Structure 1
């Protein structure tokens, strides 16, 4: 379980393909504090740490994960949002995030404003439960955000300078693919309402 509050940025230092799996070595300021078997959200994807060496940790993505996320596009030098699982004795600063990506979305517009950045995203709305509501929560590449201008297949978010500088949003451009996790409460409500 995660909150969508990004803890650190990591840099992909190596990508190794093995059969249908891909192993990613990621260097970050929190890598040395991790432990093998720990679940860590990488751009919103919950992955298990398989090894640690100095300031680098390794995770493996299986074929199913590669199909449902933007991990298949990752390459050496790319930045990745990192978040360790939440502690039950702390505040929930973002929203309830599972680290289970629902689908890939696409950034269709980036607008630099006076002191913030506005991003527009589109997604395939055919999946039941993949809904957004005005001023509701959405997770983009693991970052908990409030969406607005919601439509049946898209929404907008505004990014403050702190979030821009400390997440992968500073590298995100129009046309880029992103990992989307829709609000778990909204998914349950949608499923109940659409039951036959």
Structure 2
């Protein structure tokens, strides 16, 4: 599990094809490697990846074809900067929100502009993810825990403060048309599953049916 609070930036040093999969080497001068061991999880742009090899200031991960197909990693290149976060500890300060590191889909940046000292950004989400978003809710974009200021159909509106823009890859890589990894709030996903299960088991005497839940916005 992660919190969406980026610890440091990394650089893609190698991308090697190995029997149809990819071995990725990420280097970072600022990540604390003192407690990193083989088998640990480190999220890169929001993708939970397992450390399979360690260097002094770098580590390697294996990436499956499933991950390549479902994330924006397919557009990464050697030299790109990625957001890094090590898996949280029981003692970690919970500054963001619950993040699993399992990307739900890929969003596309459709607008970027200055808004006083912050950066206003609009991201277009895949249609099947819009039902998990809410104004003033939480979303993860490239591993960054963010608050949605406004939701317009399948577009989420964000304001990025200068500190967040500086310590992440936003200033370096986010442009109109850029693709970013999106993970929706895990609570919304579990709530949907719970309501789906309840719709099948609620006694008819209550008057609450699957149709009733759909009509009142609980299901789509």
The bucket for the TM-score relative to the shorter chain is over 0.9
**What runs of 5+ residues in structure 1 fail to find an aligned partner?**
none
TM-score (norm 2): 0.84
Superposed, 1:115-194 pairs within 5 Å as 115-126=117-128, 130-170=131-171, 171-194=173-196
Does residue 23 of the first structure (1) align with residue 23 of the second (2)? yes
Whole-angstrom CA distance in 2 between matches of 1:15 and 1:90:
31
Cα drift, residue 113 of structure 1: 2.2
Match of 1:104 in 2: 106
Match of 2:12 in 1: 12
Cα drift, residue 19 of structure 1: 2.3
Cα drift, residue 191 of structure 1: 2.7
Cα drift, residue 117 of structure 1: 0.3
- In terms of mean alpha carbon deviation, does 15-24 or 96-105 score higher? 15-24
Higher relative contact order (CA 8 A, sep 6+): 1
Cα drift, residue 190 of structure 1: 2.3
- In terms of mean alpha carbon deviation, does 93-102 or 50-59 score higher? 50-59
**What runs of 5+ residues in structure 2 fail to find an aligned partner?**
200-220
Structure 2 residue matching 1:185: 3-state secondary structure: helix
Match of 2:3 in 1: 3
Larger Rg: 2
Higher helix fraction (1 or 2)? 2
Aligned length: 195
1:19–1:31 Cα change, 3 Å: farther
Match of 1:43 in 2: 45
RMSD: 1.5
Cα drift, residue 194 of structure 1: 4.2
Cα drift, residue 89 of structure 1: 1.8
